[in-house]
Amino acid sequence: MFYSLTEMRGAAMSLTAAASGLVVFLLSVSVVQGQRVWGVTYSSTEICAVKGSTVEIRCSYTYPSRWKRGENTVQKTFWLTQKEGAQLVDPKTDSEYAGRVENLCENNNCTLRIRNLTESDSAEFRFRFKTSKDIFWGIPVTLSVTDLQVNVSRSGLSTHLQCLSSCPPGHTSYIWFKNGQEVKEETSSYADFRYDPADSSSCALKGYEDFPSPSVYAPKLPSVSESPSAEIEEGSSVTLTCSSDANPAANYTWYKTEQNADLSSVNEGPRLVLSSIQSSDSGQYYCRADNLLGSTISDPFSIDVKYSPKPPSVSVSPSAEIEEGSSVTLTCSSDANPAANYTWYKEDEDSPKASGQIFTITDFRAEHSGSYSCGAQNKLGRSNSTFHLIVVAGSQNLLSFVTIPVVLLAVISLSVFLWIRRKRASRDSSEPEERADNREECVPDQPEQQEDLQYASVHFSNNRADPLYSNMRAAQPLRHTEQQEVPEDAAVKFSSAAPRTRSQDSEEDPAALYSTVNKSR
């Protein structure tokens, strides 16, 4: 039912008129007659359009050529809009619609065109035209502007897609696209039993095919970024961030390659924070991105933690006794990143003896004995290791000792053996008759046999935990002594702890362990 401005005014006046019943009756008759000549017809009174698209609200209007005993002509046509709680405004003059609205009228047909729709454009619109005799209003048209989204769900092996919009139910039809190709579906739901992770799907409102929803698809190959991007030093912190193009948004899981093992999970979420990073954190990291449509894993991202040299270890070759005049090779190694440079020093000498990981001393002599140190250095720091090389007086052999506990155990065993022998000899001396025969067996027949006796003396320092040996490999200095064969008719004597002067003690290296074997000529 449509009303002219005169009719609406008359209805208002009738509420206060004294003869209200008669007036209302007459106006009602006028409205019934006027419906045949006054009117506005819309193509649709419920319109749903997509955000970013262009909408056209169309109508046609009619009016009597003669009205109120005179000629009736159209003077102006216009559209008005009213948002919730606001006044009616002309969109052509409202700054919110500036440059986006057109009012196109021709031959009693009018179209309101709004471009680049936003969700705030959702409102009621009314057409109005003015004649020389009156003004006529059309009923409201509701415009809903929606932002389409595709919702994904899984049920067993089937993928279910639903097109979500703010359009009133039943007021529009939908079109589905898969990999850019139209799928013959006209409902808001779509089920795919053969969905491939490489597929992408979208939906659109019918009539707005050029404005489909954002596509949904499985995650693309993730990328990993590092912050800070500078060189990573031990003790610092680094953050790795994973990102992947995916819709719906991806979930992220971090993995690290462990030595001789499969990938192990180290964190959930797009960021991996490594605080106070250690050398053990070096390695290859991976990021996996997944959503309901599939998953993918990134290329390996390497973390290379830089650190200063660890305390070096020194090996001696050959590790057994070395004859004086031969050569000895010393090798220094240290865990460091970047790789360490090595320098060799001798005690009480300012200038380095050599550089490089290997130090070879040829034609080794007594004057070469002493304390040596190996220094490992890179741009982050330096670490040293000190050790002793000793030529024992009275021997033509160079001994390198790094295993004091082994020698100590041998000395203790020898002392126990001698103590047992002494106790047995003391017990035997208490029996004179039996000792007479025993002495004859133990005393050598000829005095000159004393010249064939071999003497062995073993000395070790009191510093049993000298840290100078802590990084050296076991040298086995006792091998020569252990392999000595003593003839059955020879007597072996071990020197007792004879008194020594203070000057003798101060001349010896308190950290040295050595042995001497003297043979008679």
- DSSP string for residues in 204-264: EETT-TTSPPPPEE-----EEEEES-S-EETT--EEEEEE---BSPPEEEEEEEPTTS-EE
Phi and psi at residue 259, to the nearest 5°: -65, 130
Instruction: Indicate if the pLDDT at residue 102 is higher than 50.
Output: yes
With a cut of 60, say whether residue 356 has pLDDT above it.
Answer: yes
Give me the mean pLDDT over the 465-480 stretch. 37
Residue 214 one-letter amino acid:
P
Closest CA to 122 of 59, 56, 47: 47
Segment 153-158 mean pLDDT: 84
Q: CA 348, CA 333: separation in Å to the nearest integer?
A: 23
Q: What is the pLDDT of residue 259?
A: 73
Average pLDDT over residues 55-69: 93
Whole-angstrom CA distances from 8 to 33, 76, 136 are 15, 19, 10
Q: Kindly indicate the confidence band of residue 393, based on its pLDDT and cuts at 50, 70 and 90.
A: very low
Percent of the chain with pLDDT over 70: 71
Q: How far apart are CA 504 and CA 502, in angstroms?
A: 5
Tell me which of 120 and 474 has the higher pLDDT: 120
Is there a cis peptide before residue 318, judged by omega within 30 degrees of 0?
yes
pLDDT average, residue stretch 265-294: 94
- C-alpha pair distances (Å), 271 with each of 228, 288, 464: 13, 12, 51
Q: Which residues contact 328 (CB under 8 A, 6 or more apart)?
A: 316, 317, 318, 322, 360, 361, 364, 389, 398, 400
Q: How far apart are CA 269 and CA 272, in angstroms?
A: 7
Q: Are 219 and 245 in contact (CB under 8 A)?
A: yes
pLDDT score recorded for residue 90: 92
Lowest mean pLDDT among 120-124, 292-296, 383-387, 413-417: 413-417
- Over residues 385-410, mean pLDDT: 58
pLDDT, position 326: 83
At 8-21, the pLDDT tens digits run: 443 333 333 333 33
Going along the chain from its start, the domains and CATH numbers come out as 39-145 (2.60.40.10), 148-217 (2.60.40.10), 223-303 (2.60.40.10), 313-389 (2.60.40.10)
- Residue 294: the pLDDT is 92
If pLDDT is split at 50, 70 and 90, which confidence band does 454 have?
very low
Cβ(232)–Cβ(273) below 8 Å: no
Structure tokens at 389: 């090389």
167, pLDDT greater than 70 = yes
Instruction: Look at 324 and 465; give whichever has higher pLDDT.
Output: 324
Q: How confident is the model at residue 487 (pLDDT cuts 50, 70, 90)?
A: very low
Cα-Cα-Cα-Cα dihedral sign, residues 262, 268, 272, 274: negative
- pLDDT of 63 > 90? The answer is yes
- Among candidate residues 58, 72, 61, the one with its CA nearest the CA of residue 6: 72
pLDDT of residue 67 exceeding 80, the answer is: yes
Report the percent of the chain where pLDDT is more than 90. Answer: 47
Which of 149-158, 168-177, 322-331, 396-405 has the lowest average pLDDT?
Answer: 396-405
The confidence band for 323, taking pLDDT boundaries of 50, 70 and 90, is confident
Most confident of 253-262, 274-283, 423-432: 274-283
Identify the band that residue 482 occupies on the pLDDT scale cut at 50, 70 and 90: very low
Q: What is the mean pLDDT of the chain?
A: 76
pLDDT value of residue 431: 54
pLDDT number for residue 420 = 85
Query: In this model, does residue 297 exceed pLDDT 50?
Result: yes
**Over 50: is that where the pLDDT of 459 sits?**
no
CA end-to-end span of the chain, whole Å?
143
Given pLDDT bands bounded at 50, 70 and 90, which one contains residue 368? confident
**And the tokens for 163?**
């097109």
pLDDT band at 515 (very low <50, low <70, confident <90, very high): very low
What is the reported pTM? Answer: 0.59
Res. 185: pLDDT tops 50: yes
Strands 46-50 and 141-146: parallel
**Residue written as token pair 């020569």:** 480
pLDDT at 307 over 90: yes
Residue 397's nearest CA partner among 243, 309, 514, 484 is: 514
> Strand (E) positions, 63-140?
74-82, 101-106, 109-114, 123-131, 135-137
Contact (Cβ atoms closer than 8 angstroms) between residue 212 and residue 241: no
The listed range with the strongest mean pLDDT (151-155, 232-236, 392-396, 498-502) is 232-236
At residue 406, the pLDDT reads: 53
- Tell me, what's the pLDDT at 428? 61
Q: What is the rounded average pLDDT of the residues 437-443?
A: 42
pLDDT digits (tens, 9 = 90+) for 192-233: 777 788 999 999 988 889 999 999 999 999 999 999 988 999
Q: Per-residue pLDDT for 280 more than 80?
A: yes
Q: Where does the pLDDT of residue 407 fall: very low under 50, low under 70, confident under 90, or very high at 90 and above? A: low
The pLDDT of residue 145: 93
